[in-house]
Amino acid sequence: MSSDVLARNIYLEATLILFLLLTGGCASLPENTNRQVSYALTDTEDTSFGVKTAARIEAEGDGQDGFMLLESGLDAFVARALLAHFAERSIDVQYYLYHNDLVGRLLMSKLIQAADRGVRVRLLIDDMDLGGRDNGLLALDSHPNIEMRVFNPFDRKIGRMPQYVTGFGSVTRRMHNKSFTVDNQVTIVGGRNIGNEYFDADPTLEFSDLDVMAIGDVVKDVSHAFDLYWNSELAYPVTTLIENRLSEEEIKQLYQKLQAYIEEHKDNPYLDALRGSDLANEIRQKRVVYQWGEADVVYDLPEKISSDRDATELHLMTQLAPYFNAIQKELIIYSPYFVPGKEGVEFFKNLVDRGVRVRILTKSLASNDVSVVHAGYAKYRKGLLRAGVELYEKNTKLSRSQRKEKKGVGASSKASLHAKSFVLDRDKVFIGSLNLDPRSFYENSEIGVVISSPETAEIMAKEFEEVIESSVFRLELVTDDDDNEYILWHGYEDGVPVTFEVDPYTSIWRRMGVNFMRIMPIESQL
């Protein structure tokens, strides 16, 4: 990029920001006084899920909670689709992003079918991904058994972009929670939003993510968290938020359009892949296996979104702190967006100093879709390595064998990381929506589950070891003859060892951009 082009881009961006500041105005939302309070149904022990889960807990779990890791995107979608298919009383859905793509429409079709059977469906979606989709929200909400609410909404009277500027610190704080609960008997919590990329339906991307499906008392705790958000003053019924109204004919046409889309895609290879998923086969053969243990659901209170950043009594991290402080031997972290800050570096250093092995996997620059976040992380890499932390970054290029494994779903040659999970002393695991960055700590709301299960922890630890052997870069801090420190990236390309002296598979322009962003005072927003 020439200096003239670069200067022009900077000028245009500055001009745009000034324009937004001058013309944006202030957002004005309607009073949210018409929302009806509702709660998770409690009389669901006699449902099929209630009877079956109770029997398995008594026979196998000795009263403990049951867990099934959903690592495959195909399995993760199959689990949600089947739960919706067999729901009898209620479905509670809470997500940060809900895309209007193949996966989003397939799941929505399942939710509508459940509602048609008389199942109560509550949909709580953050407004970040809902721009331009108000008519669809109204059509869903028109169903007698579906209620749609939008969390922390944008004003519909003005554009979204001006609100990012004029409403900085309010609309920039989002509900990042992800949960899917059926009949208050089975729940899914984890890192996945609803969209093609999260469920192996995007042929251009291998997306590493993780959910857990759970049964037992833990489900009631997830439902309680959902109810707090559902009844929050930040959760707007769509009819309160949106002035427009649809005629019965318009609603009918929107439902017909959805069904036409589903019919049009009935021969999509992805649907064949779903039918052949491991979980689908296990269900057919009645050999679904749970791990057993105790669970603690941890979550930010919804008031966090509208409160001061230092109101730590509302924060998930306050609940997690005792688990981290109790670590004795080993900590394994998956965090795609990882900005530890000076305090985080010091925390990990203290762990290492007292004999704890700390291993962290995050995104590489090439795999990171938010360069500014990578800039926030990159300035702490050397400090982490000096402290003795074992640092790994996701390799964006899949090997031939890995691409072969994806055959039938897509032919991706690019890999990315989205799972947010920790393994503590191979005794406990955390699975949820939490990234280890300031945005998750202080700005957005999050949810996760801490599972006390050595069996589950061992499974996740061994899989981490397999991952770092095949599809990551190991970072090494070295010193040259002049005592200058620099980082080496060690990895593999189609089984052949390779070493890079700069961020792998990135251009000089992208690296320069990241280096510039490293000096900007924006870490608190990352």
Residues with a catalytic annotation lie at: 176, 178, 183, 418, 420, 425
Q: What is the distance, to the nearest Å, from the Cα of residue 154 to the centroid of all Cα atoms in its chain?
A: 21
Cα–Cα dist 382/384, whole Å: 5
Instruction: List residues bridging with 476 in a β-sheet.
Output: 488
Token duo for residue 433 = 């929506």
Sorted by sequence, the CB contacts under 8 Å of residue 310 that are 6+ apart come out as: none
> What's the burial of 180, exposed, middle or buried (CB within 10 Å: 0-12/13-18/19+)?
buried
Between strands 65-70 and 390-394, the pairing is: unpaired
Asked if 88 and 48 count as a contact pair (C-beta separation under 8 A), the reply is yes
At what angle are helices 48-56 and 73-86 packed, to 10 degrees?
A: 120
Burial bucket for residue 404 (CB in 10 Å: 0-12, 13-18, 19+):
exposed
Q: What DSSP line would sit under 319-351, residue for residue?
A: HHHHHHHT--SEEEEE-SSB--HHHHHHHHHHH
Sign, CA torsion 239/241/247/252: negative
- Spatial contact of 106 and 74, defined as CB atoms under 8 Å apart: no
Any alpha helices (H) in 287-340, and if so which ranges?
316-325
Cα 52 to chain centroid, rounded:
29
Contact between 244 and 134 (Cβ < 8 Å): yes
Phi, psi of 316 (to 5 degrees): -60, -40
Which is it for strands 496-500 and 90-95: parallel, antiparallel or unpaired?
A: unpaired
